[in-house]
């Protein structure tokens, strides 16, 4: 099996954690697909395997068994160096906690992945400023995180996730630290990125209000997909 027309495809995906002498299966044979240009949500109770699944797709962890195709490549077979390159160039991450560096300005935070990759300052600064304009923060480019609201900090984090022009954004509870109005504005931004920028977003969320913005939902329970729902057609 290969990725085919899907940007993400998993096949019989298992993740088993060892605790002392016992085993804890966080994922139990998960099969899912994500189409290019889709906004997908993964929902389920605490301990259902949502974040584990996202971390596996993002190359932050390796499965116990099974296959994970991203863009037609089985990332479970990649070396550590190949995974590091995959995470930096092919994936954008957005987390509940914004993970911004407090002593850097917004534009410096956004351009950081390009700086790590050795891209010249003029080139990365131009792209970072363009992305801050895209997320509505052109006037806050040289503010530090402490000078920004929670919603503004998350917008900076989204711009940073886009800096290397990934086709896939992985968002883990991206509105979990925000009030409902600010959270809705972040969801509208994700929706606009999917509709206008050919980006694919896979989001883990516990907030049912967020589901009105997505195309499709996978519901997880005890490490298994129990239901798939189409929200937009």
Each residue's pLDDT expressed in tens, for the chain with a length of 233 residues: 444 579 999 999 999 998 888 888 899 999 999 999 999 999 998 889 999 999 999 999 999 999 999 999 999 999 999 998 888 888 999 988 888 999 999 999 999 988 888 889 999 999 999 999 989 999 999 999 999 999 999 999 999 999 988 889 999 998 888 888 889 989 998 999 999 888 999 999 988 899 999 999 999 999 999 988 888 75
Tell whether pTM > 0.95: no
**Residue 18 domain-assigned (yes or no):** no
CB 26 within 8 A of CB 38: no
Q: What is the domain extent for residue 139?
A: 38-61+88-230
Token pair for residue 174? 């991206």
Q: Does some domain include residue 105?
A: yes
CA distance 213 to 189: 10
Q: E strand or H helix at 40, and its extent?
A: strand 39-43
The two beta strands, 200-204 and 168-172, are parallel
How many folded domains does the chain comprise? 1
Residues 6 or more apart whose CB falls under 8 angstroms from that of 80 comprise none
The CATH number linked to 166 is 3.40.50.300
- Would you say residue 164 lies in a domain? yes
Residue 178 forms part of a structural domain: yes
| Closest by Cα among 45, 146, 64 to 105 | 146
- Residue 31 falls within a domain, yes or no? no
């Amino acid at each position: 099996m290969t990725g085919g027309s899907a940007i993400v495809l998993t096949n019989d995906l298992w993740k088993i954690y060892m605790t002392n002498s016992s085993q804890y299966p966080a994922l139990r044979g998960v099969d899912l697909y994500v189409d290019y240009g889709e906004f997908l949500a993964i929902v389920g109770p605490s301990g259902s395997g949502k974040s584990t699944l996202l971390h596996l797709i993002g190359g932050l962890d390796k499965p116990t068994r099974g296959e994970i195709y991203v863009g037609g490549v089985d990332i479970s077979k990649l070396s550590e160096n190949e995974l590091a390159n995959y995470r930096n160039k092919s994936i954008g991450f957005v987390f509940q906690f914004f993970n911004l560096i407090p002593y850097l300005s917004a534009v410096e935070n956004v351009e950081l992945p390009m700086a790590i990759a050795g891209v010249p300052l003029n080139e990365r600064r131009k792209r970072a400023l363009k992305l801050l304009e895209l997320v509505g923060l052109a006037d806050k480019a040289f503010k530090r995180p402490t000078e920004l609201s929670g919603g503004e900090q998350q917008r900076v984090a989204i711009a940073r996730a886009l800096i290397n022009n990934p086709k896939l954004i992985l968002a883990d509870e991206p509105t979990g630290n925000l009030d409902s109005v600010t959270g809705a504005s972040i969801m509208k931004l994700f929706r606009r990125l999917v509709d206008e920028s050919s980006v694919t977003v896979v989001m883990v969320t516990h907030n049912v209000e967020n589901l009105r913005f997505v195309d499709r939902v996978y519901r997880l329970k005890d490490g298994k997909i129990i239901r798939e729902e189409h929200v937009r057609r």
